[in-house]
């Protein structure tokens, strides 16, 4: 199964290029200063154009340090998505859960109806797709169950079939 519905929100999985999706917002991993680092973040920021990094610099200057577990939002720049949510997931499961929750909360605060996540913390800090799926998908379910969310569609964009299968296995348990 590659999708389920919780309340009025569809959660779907797909294999593709995160930077080419047509969602209201995309979520990308971040660091404490919102600087380009990590393959996925660099790729998305490059596609989005310099305007997005300027916005990141302004946010980082105001906040001094982006706390682990938090999420901030910028425009989508040159992307098809209107917004980018920058999630600082950190190096442990609790922070990944918090970053996922705060990304969803940020989306709701900005009236975002559709957003797409990559498997947060995968590769950057050594989490496998399985570990990421076991933390992210139950968090998404809990958020949608507990909150009055306006989000209509939450997608998880995977790059490989093995990663897709790990998320699909976890989705089947929700």
Mean pLDDT by 10 residues, the chain (174 residues): 92 95 94 84 92 94 89 96 93 91 98 96 77 96 97 97 96 94
Helix (H) or strand (E) holding 166: helix 161-171
- Relative orientation angle of helices 50-63 and 39-48, to the nearest 10 degrees: 120
Q: Which of left, alpha, beta for 125 (phi over 0: left; psi -120 to 50: alpha)?
A: alpha
Report residue 16: phi and psi, to 5°: 180, -165
DSSP labels, 43-56: HHHHHH-HHHHHHH
Choose among 116, 127, 104, 123: nearest CA to 79: 116
CA–CA dist 90, 81 (Å, integer): 25
| 162 CB burial (10 A radius; 0-12, 13-18, 19+) | exposed
| 39 CB burial (10 A radius; 0-12, 13-18, 19+) | exposed
Going along the chain from its start, the domains and CATH numbers come out as 3-171 (3.40.220.10)
């Amino acid at each position: 199964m590659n999708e389920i519905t919780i309340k009025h929100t569809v959660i779907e999985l797909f294999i593709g290029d995160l930077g080419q999706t047509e969602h209201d917002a995309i979520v990308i991993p971040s660091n404490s200063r919102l600087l380009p680092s990590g393959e996925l973040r660099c790729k998305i920021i490059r596609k989005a154009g310099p305007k997005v990094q300027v916005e990141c610099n302004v946010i980082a200057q105001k906040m001094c340090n982006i706390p682990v577990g938090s999420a901030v939002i910028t425009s989508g720049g040159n992307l098809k998505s209107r917004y980018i949510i920058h999630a600082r997931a950190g190096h442990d499961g609790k922070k990944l859960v918090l970053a996922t929750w705060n990304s969803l909360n940020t989306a709701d605060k900005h009236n975002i109806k559709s957003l797409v996540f990559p498997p947060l913390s995968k590769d950057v800090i050594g989490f496998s797709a399985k570990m990421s799926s076991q933390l992210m998908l139950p968090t998404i379910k809990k958020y949608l169950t507990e909150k009055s969310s306006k989000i209509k569609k939450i997608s998880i964009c995977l790059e490989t079939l093995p990663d897709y299968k790990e998320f699909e296995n976890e989705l089947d348990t929700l």
